[in-house]
Amino acid sequence: MKPKILVARAVFPETIAYLSQHFDVETNPSDEAWTGAQLVEHLRDKDGAFTTGSVRIDDEVLAACPKLKICANMAVGYNNFDIDAMSARGVLGTNTPDVLTETTADFGFALLMATARRLTESEHYLRAGKWNKWSYDMFAGSDIHGATLGILGMGRIGQGIAKRGAYGFGMKVIYHNRSRLDAAMEAECKARYVSKEELLKTADHLVLVLPYSAASHHSIGAAELAQMKPTATLVNIARGGIVDDAALAQALCEKRIAAAGLDVFEGEPKVHADLLTVPNVVLTPHIASSSVPTRKAMAKLAADNLIEFFSKGRGLTPLNPQVLKA
């Protein structure tokens, strides 16, 4: 008898076909964003779950689903998982690192460029029919080549952005991280480690790529924004909640920093209303990893984690491997 799994959000048809070779699969073809109670209703009799970052797995859900043994997240981030609760109840969590690194770094740099060169503002201006003459300062932004690129969070994606800046645009790269990279990796990224204070004060373009946790909540708030240059830009491709969106909107409105590019938001898919009214911000709906090849690779790795677990008792990319040892 095949194990029962729930695919909690819509995914590629070929992923469902692949999973169906190994499991009794229930899907969510309408792609509804279920409440916790609705999720439990569908998950209660399942052995495993294929989840995305919008599917919250907490102790309340786990308590109501005692058969559940694994949740495979189709994302590198996993702040939708209460890992401590999952570990306490013997439920494995997995994610999809590596396969989205380069695509996400590409997007991070694209968002940086759009923000620095004021692409969104200028497109809105053109579409509104306001462009009727040339002027010397029309949407004059800031240069990227030769500028100082600051990176907060220097994991795989941060390193990818650093290399794009250093090698492609001749940028001076500085970074801050919980732990410093080894000398060889710093040399490969052409990056210099600095304090967070120096990072904020020095960067012309600051990119956030750190994981979300209670410790990183509002890592960029009013006090941090006040330390940045008035000509600086801020890009967040990490997670909502790392930036205090209300404080950022106010700083943008008051031109205390030049511009921001945001792919993630507190409470998404809702966006802070003030961010929708300021012109000097580029907004995208959490699509940094959204290329077709990469999203298919993410779906395949999440599926393979489920198959590996039920066939061999292990996960390919476990988040709480102590569960396997137990």
Q: Kindly list the catalytic residues.
A: 239, 268, 286
Tell me the C-alpha distance between 228 and 185, whole Å.
27
Helix, strand, coil fractions of the chain, as percent rounded to 5:
40, 15, 45
Number of neighbours of residue 189 by Cβ within 10 angstroms: 22
CB 263 within 8 A of CB 109: no
| Residue in 123, 152, 97 with CA at minimum distance from that of residue 318 | 97
Let me know the angle formed at the C-alpha of 18 by 12 and 23, rounded to the nearest 5 degrees. 115
φ, ψ of residue 143 to 5 degrees: the values are: -70, 150
Q: Which two tokens stand for residue 82?
A: 């209460």
How far apart CA 78 and CA 75 sit, in angstroms, is 7
Please, are residues 26 and 3 in contact by the beta-carbon 8 Å criterion? no
Query: What is the per-residue DSSP string for 62-119?
Result: HHH-TT--EEEESSS--TTB-HHHHHHTT-EEE---STTHHHHHHHHHHHHHHHHTTH
DSSP 283-317: E--S-TT--HHHHHHHHHHHHHHHHHHHHHS--SS
Q: Are 6 and 29 in contact (CB under 8 A)?
A: no
Q: For residue 196, which amino acid is it?
A: K
Residue given tokens 């393979």 in the structure block: 304
